[in-house]
Amino acid sequence: MKHLLSLILAVWLTQPLAAQVRGEVQIPNLNGFVTLKCDFHIHTVFSDGNVWPTVRIAEAYREGLDAISITDHIEYRPHNEDINADHNRSFDIAAPIAKAAGIILIKGSEITRAMPPGHSNALFLTDSNPLDQQEYMDAFEAAKQQNAFIFWNHPGWDAQQPDTTLWWPEHTKLLEQGMMMGMEVVNGTEYFPEAHQWCLDKKLTMLGNSDVHDPIQAQFDFANGAHRTMTLVFAKEATQEGIREALFAGRTAVYNEEVLVGEERYLKELFENALDITVEKRGNSVRITVKNNSDLVFHLKKTQHDTRLVYFRNYTIVPQGTHVITVRLQEGIQGGDMNFNVENLLVQPNQGMNYTIKI
């Protein structure tokens, strides 16, 4: 076994250098929690994907991810004339490479059913095979018996919900029986505002995943600075157990293109931890220096305020940038509230986060 591992490591290390460069995405930690970059919805040739499992590890490494789950479909395996293996095989092939690369690989599967209840992923499985069942409830039961974290995938997928995104009685049943702990608020780059609202109302964990089937670069334009859709997990420690605890506790946010989706308490802390803000008064103007230490962009838009405080209408804080913002104080006022909305931090469906800098 030791010999095999060192052989695998040797193969890994002799891959072309470009394949080994890890891109680090700078997203701040929260107070007391480490921010882990995760993708919990990925396919390989062992279901309907077009990529070998080890390639998924190399992709995750290059993109600076901390954890992934390969979630091949249980019920849909169009390559099975050529690739005929059990439901654990994609995990087993990827696991030693993940270990060598320092990527946390979580065993998962996609329970793939017509609507309702649609598709769901089960994470932290020990054995995927018992999920292969005739009746969907038996598949969910098998996942629950393994203490899986189960979430509803792409609730607004138009192939299954063509007109509107509906919550079905079957979902109430899954929720009540402890077989649904979260849902995808973003799948690929598609955002589901209804799912966002359900997560807030029903205290479900928000997830955003790539659901990648082809090589990842076919879906995201990395050459132009794109990143894959990911779930940010705010964990007590960077381990599988740490991720598990955080997912069950609902400590996540979703990072999709320039947008973050999540509970206000987490997005507010991310915003504050990303920025160093200093305020200097100079007579009847105020100079605010904002240094962004993250790779996140923030789009600010002025909201209702004392009009004697004169500042921008729209302002963009660029990744890793330093900005000087001048605020004028008119009619002898000594200060006030600089109110704005951070439009790309969604704390309610399609609504940004309000924020105030006190002057």
Residues that bind Zn ion (CB under 5 A): 43, 48, 119, 153
Least gap, CB of 204 to Zn ion (angstroms): 18
Closer of 43 and 251 to Zn ion (Cβ) = 43
Least gap, CB of 216 to Zn ion (angstroms): 15
Closer of 90 and 292 to Zn ion (Cβ) = 90
Estimate the share of the chain in helix, then strand, then coil, as percent rounded to the nearest 5.
25, 30, 40
- CA dist., res. 7 & res. 49, Å (int): 27
Distance linking the first and last C-alpha atoms of the chain: 63
Least gap, CB of 203 to Zn ion (angstroms): 24
Closer of 73 and 251 to Zn ion (Cβ) = 73
Least gap, CB of 154 to Zn ion (angstroms): 6
Closer of 153 and 205 to Zn ion (Cβ) = 153
- The burial class, CB within 10 Å (0-12 / 13-18 / 19+), for 4 is exposed
**For 173-237, what is the HEC assignment?**
HHHHCCCCCEEEEEECCEECHHHHHHHHHHCCEEEEECCECCCHHHCCCHHHCCCCCEEEEEECC
Cis link prior to 117 (omega < 30° from 0)? yes
Give the nearest residue (CB) to Zn ion.
119
- CA dist., res. 295 & res. 299, Å (int): 13
Block residue for tokens 């077989």:
179
Least gap, CB of 48 to Zn ion (angstroms): 4
Block residue for tokens 């997912």:
247
Least gap, CB of 165 to Zn ion (angstroms): 15
Distances (CA, A) of 346 to 72, 75, 328: 30, 35, 29
Closer of 54 and 153 to Zn ion (Cβ) = 153
Closer of 56 and 119 to Zn ion (Cβ) = 119
